[in-house]
Amino acid sequence: MKTIIFGATGMVGQGVLRECLLDPAVEAVLTIGRSTTGHQSQRLREIVVPDLFDLSGVEAQLSGYDACFFCLGVSAVGMSGQEYRQITFELTISVARTLLKLNPSMTFLYVSGVGTDSTERGGSMWARVKGQTENTLLKMPFKAAYMFRPGYIQPLHGIKTKTRWYGALYAVVSSLYPLLKRLFPNQVTTTQELGRAMIAAAKQASAKRIVESGEIRAFL
């Protein structure tokens, strides 16, 4: 399986990249982003682009892939609705359309979030935008598309978030994770579990297109 990862320098993307490089079934990994990941592997190739909305200059290098793990995401805190929609919806769909044109048999895996509003009519702006993004992806004629909705994600293996206040939160919660896992098993996961579950979904067809937090481990 040949894979593309968007957002490989973020916390979730780092987890997916690590698991891809550890999985012998993943033949090649291509990361696309504004910076390199710092990883080195014979199976890893990286493309740095200044504007992810414009992939025209690298389109010739994006064919022949089986799956895309789209792990780009931002917090809605402090952002206007239009700013959040541009990054969350418009960028995701722009990339998806480009990849679909070049890889009609591709599986597209999108990291959404718990509480996403599939009706697109709820009171939470971020949940409506996520819902619109999911719904649009599910209507696109990919071989398959999976929407993963994790809750709390515990970073493992030295993986860190780039968001400062998230980092402070993880530093506090990390020691409590075993307790959280016992008390709220359906609301917590790890970067390792999420990465492995997404790879498993890319490998095998499943009727489950929206994967809630408590369903992630079922793919392992």
Q: What is the per-residue pLDDT for 167?
A: 63
For the stretch 104-118, pLDDT in tens is 999 999 999 999 999
Q: What is the per-residue pLDDT for 168?
A: 67
For the stretch 175-203, pLDDT in tens is 888 888 899 989 999 999 999 999 999 99
The rounded mean pLDDT for the chain is 94
Measured CA to CA, the distance from residue 211 to residue 140 in angstroms comes to: 18
Neighbouring-strand partners of residue 148:
111, 211
Within 10 Å of residue 34's Cβ, how many Cβ atoms? 10
2-219: in CATH 2.160.20.80: no
Give the burial string for 150-186 (b: 16+ CB within 10 Å, else e).
bbbbbbeeebebeeeeeeeebeeeeeebeeeeeeeee
| Chain CA centroid to CA 175, Å | 25
Prediction pTM value:
0.94
Q: What is the per-residue pLDDT for 90?
A: 98
The structural domains of the chain, with segments of one domain joined by +, span 2-219
